[in-house]
């Protein structure tokens, strides 16, 4: 039995492992006691589901159920990702079917106002014909008219961020004379819905007049029809124009098939495309627990020439597998090039302090996978488009080159070193800045016992009254003629702990600097060598003169 927070002499909760049974609040049908917490863990045979219904329900009412409440969890773990709903007041919860063979029910009362409580019944059921779906708190999955108590149940109202549906008995042949309706959407703040069929095999026929799946761009059949499908060809990926999608499956009196399996997800916080130079995004419901059974994608697509640099401001996902040590459960992956076929830049889970990651192209894709158990806080990420640039220096000059395609929307005077008077020039297909160390706000500093020349490169993306200026520190070590560049203000300086070096592969992959031009410009070395030779000759003459005297 679970630890219980009940007054002395009151017993409630426990593990219910029979194929069917009943349970109720303490003292039912009398008033339940104050300051009571009870947990019932219902466990049936693996491969089955738990079917739960309520015959009586009366708890203290509050608009957010902050006082007395009953909670139903999809599984054994009491985390927010598994929470199917929180209930109070006089309206009984709907019937439930769990996604697997375990369900938890929690009852809690405070120190004021007692009611008669609840009575509930459960039984072992088949998962065939119902759907497995984990959803956000207070959003329910249920079968209208109690169909989850039937072997071939299907359909329902689905309002989660994402989920999966399938025809009755899938992957076995679906029954004849079946009709199922799934109404998807309706969650507050929801966006357009995307439906993807993973498998599809039904009776065919011209016009799909026998068995078919029909899709409607709204909550009812009066909405525009998006398609009607049958046969063995998978329907195309479908995107609604509203936050609602109606799916109808119908079979006639003979000839069946394997049926279908499909998953859906909502746009918005789970599926986003970013094209701005900088931005922020986070996992669904952050900083609250993310839902289970998600596959979310964030695609960052910047102009050609840019690189994408992401900063992990916060991350807490389900931890690594104790068996493999890998991120086998919930994980976040980053792919270069904008698709999951691109190079894997990293895969993370658990709670870690991660270093920034930079793409090798102008596109980066982040994919979040969550399983059916254990949800955490999620993540918050900031990104910035890194301007590809080549920085070089001599003993007296800075040379900066930026491909114009990277900053095609900017005038040259929005790119300057130190002060606006040192603006870039347009040379061929590049913005170029060539300046001496004694101009453009440069200063000499001593770092790590080495003399360096430092200045700030400004790139002004501001629009109207929205200031947006990226700042890069450019540095030269004259003795070695080595230059580097570091982002010092970009995505959100207040949220970044320190500047991050951006040079490395960035410069190697950028457009090559015109070596001939650099050599022709670098006359300072010739002058320096000439002075050294002249000084040497004068010293020889002086020594000879002293000897002769």
Question: Strand, helix or coil at 364?
Answer: strand
Distance in angstroms between the alpha carbons of the first and the last residue of the chain: 111
- pLDDT tens digit sequence for 19-67: 888 899 999 889 999 999 999 999 988 778 888 889 899 999 887 888 9
Average confidence score pLDDT of the chain: 79
What does the alpha-carbon distance between residue 294 and residue 284 come to, in Å, rounded to a whole number?
9
What does the alpha-carbon distance between residue 97 and residue 123 come to, in Å, rounded to a whole number?
10
Ranges for all domains in the chain classified under CATH 2.60.120.290: 13-125, 155-266, 271-386
Q: Which CATH architecture has domain 13-125?
A: Sandwich (2.60)
- pLDDT tens digit sequence for 174-219: 998 888 888 887 655 567 888 878 789 999 888 899 999 999 999 8
Q: Which CATH architecture has domain 271-386?
A: Sandwich (2.60)
Q: Which CATH class is domain 390-489?
A: mainly beta
Distances (CA, A) of 471 to 140, 453, 458: 49, 16, 5
pLDDT score for 462: 84
The CA-CA-CA angle for residues 474, 480, 482, to 5°, reads 30
Looking at the domain 155-266, which fold is it? Jelly Rolls (2.60.120)
Residue 260 forms beta bridges with which residues? Answer: 200
Q: Under 8 Å CB-to-CB from 327, ≥6 apart: which residues?
A: 317, 320, 321, 347, 348, 349, 350
pLDDT score for 548: 67
pLDDT score for 498: 33
Question: Strand, helix or coil at 198?
Answer: strand
pLDDT score for 10: 61
User: Closest Cα to residue 108, out of 133, 144, 72, 159?
Assistant: 72
Ranges for all domains in the chain classified under CATH 2.60.40.3210: 390-489
Q: List the single range of 149-158, 234-243, 283-292, 499-508 with lowest mean pLDDT.
A: 499-508
Helices and strands of the chain, counted as H and E runs: 3, 37
């Amino acid at each position: 039995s679970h630890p219980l927070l009940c007054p002395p002499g009151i017993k409630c909760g426990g593990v219910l492992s029979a194929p069917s049974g009943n349970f109720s609040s303490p003292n039912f049908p009398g008033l339940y006691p104050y300051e009571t917490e009870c947990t019932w863990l219902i466990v049936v045979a693996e491969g089955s589901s738990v079917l739960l219904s309520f015959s009586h329900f009366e708890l203290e009412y509050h608009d957010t159920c902050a006082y007395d409440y009953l909670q139903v969890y999809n599984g054994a773990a009491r985390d927010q990702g598994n929470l199917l709903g929180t209930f109070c007041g006089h309206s009984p919860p709907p019937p439930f079917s769990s996604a697997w063979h375990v369900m938890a029910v929690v009852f809690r009362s405070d120190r004021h106002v007692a009611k008669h409580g609840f009575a509930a019944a459960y039984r072992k059921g088949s998962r065939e014909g119902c759907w497995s779906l984990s959803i956000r708190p207070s959003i329910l999955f249920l079968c209208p008219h109690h169909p989850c108590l039937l072997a071939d149940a299907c359909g329902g109202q689905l309002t989660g961020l994402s989920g999966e549906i399938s025809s009755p008995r899938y992957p076995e042949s679906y029954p004849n004379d079946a009709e199922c309706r799934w109404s998807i959407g309706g969650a507050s703040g929801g966006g357009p819905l995307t439906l993807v069929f993973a498998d599809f095999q039904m009776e065919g026929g011209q016009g799909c007049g026998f068995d078919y799946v029909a899709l409607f761009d709204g909550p009812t059949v009066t909405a525009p029809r998006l398609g009607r499908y049958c046969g063995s060809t998978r329907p195309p990926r479908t995107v609604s124009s509203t936050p609602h999608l109606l799916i109808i499956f119908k079979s006639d009196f003979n000839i069946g098939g394997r049926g279908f399996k499909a998953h859906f997800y909502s746009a918005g916080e789970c599926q986003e495309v970013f094209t701005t130079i900088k931005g922020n995004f986070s996992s669904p419901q952050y900083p609250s627990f993310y839902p289970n059974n998600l596959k979310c994608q964030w695609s960052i697509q910047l102009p050609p020439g840019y690189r994408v640099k992401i900063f992990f401001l916060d991350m807490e996902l389900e931890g690594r597998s104790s068996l493999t040590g890998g991120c086998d459960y919930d994980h976040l992956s980053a792919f270069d090039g904008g698709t999951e076929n691109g190079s894997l830049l990293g895969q993370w889970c658990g709670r870690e302090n991660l270093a920034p990651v930079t793409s090798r192209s102008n596109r980066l894709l982040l994919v979040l996978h969550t399983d059916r158990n254990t949800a955490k806080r999620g993540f918050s990420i900031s990104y910035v488009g890194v301007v590809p640039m080549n920085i070089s220096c001599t003993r007296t000059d800075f040379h900066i080159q930026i491909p114009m395609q990277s900053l095609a929307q900017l005038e040259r005077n929005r790119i300057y070193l130190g002060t606006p008077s040192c603006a870039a020039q347009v040379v061929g297909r590049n913005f170029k800045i060539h300046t001496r160390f004694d101009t453009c706000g440069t200063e000499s500093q001593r770092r790590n016992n080495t003399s360096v020349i430092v200045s700030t490169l400004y790139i002004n993306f501001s629009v109207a009254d929205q200031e947006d200026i990226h700042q890069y520190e450019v540095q030269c070590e004259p003795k070695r003629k080595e230059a580097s560049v570091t982002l010092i203000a970009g995505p959100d300086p207040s949220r970044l702990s320190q500047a991050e070096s951006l040079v490395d592969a960035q410069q190697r992959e950028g457009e090559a600097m015109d070596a001939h031009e650099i050599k022709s410009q670098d006359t300072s070395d010739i002058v320096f060598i000439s002075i050294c030779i002249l000084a040497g000759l004068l010293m020889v003459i002086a020594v000879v003169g002293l000897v002769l005297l």
